[in-house]
Structure 1
């Protein structure tokens, strides 16, 4: 599980990729990225979510925790809500089998 806090932008996106790649080496059954602490979500951040989802970073299924306008609005506008598995809470993302 990765928790992102602050602005998920061009500065933080490479760090997210690095952490996701590191997590992938542990061969998890799923990778959960918690965006509840994100204060700003840009296209660079969303690109890393897509990269992880499509298996370019992590081969395990991706689960994204996102709630609230700051994260959900950009994901909805880009229609990533149709592609990504998005959960309203960390407990729900972790409970999914």
Structure 2
């Protein structure tokens, strides 16, 4: 059974918190990229990407996460991934991308570390 894809954004004192739900794959990654492009991230802020409810992530999904990092860097901001599922953590580690994404257990932890 597939999980429906969705995103939502909440403001935080340090910048936007983008929550991603469902399967992040070749069919849904363009929607995530479009959502990321709509975000307002300014210098010094932190873009938090909450992956707690991501049920699957393929290479297209990882590419969309890299796009989030690129958007943050272009704005002279930072990005953090939170609640990264174990399988995705393993993939990020094996590909060497774990070094590019600070990860935290919760959005609160990421925000506190950035403050």
Give the TM-score category using the shorter length.
0.7 to 0.9
Q: Which has the larger radius of gyration?
A: 2
Please state if 1:51 is matched with 2:67: yes
Q: Assess if the C-alpha contact under 8 Å between 2:26 and 2:58 holds in 1.
A: yes
Cα distance in structure 2, aligned partners of 1:50 and 1:7: 17
Consecutive unaligned residues of structure 2, counting only runs of 5 or more, are 1-16
Q: Assess if the C-alpha contact under 8 Å between 1:20 and 1:57 holds in 2.
A: no
Q: Assess if the C-alpha contact under 8 Å between 1:64 and 1:86 holds in 2.
A: yes
Cα distance in structure 1, aligned partners of 2:24 and 2:97: 16
2:31 maps to what in 1? 15
Q: What is the TM-score with the length of structure 2 in the denominator?
A: 0.71
Consecutive unaligned residues of structure 1, counting only runs of 5 or more, are none
2:6 maps to what in 1? none
Structure 2 counterpart of 1:77, from 85, 91, 94: 94
- Length, aligned pairs only: 96
Query: 1:25-40 counterparts in 2 under 5 A?
Result: 27=42, 29-40=45-56
TM-aligned CA deviation for residue 55 of structure 1: 3.4
Cα distance in structure 2, aligned partners of 1:13 and 1:71: 15
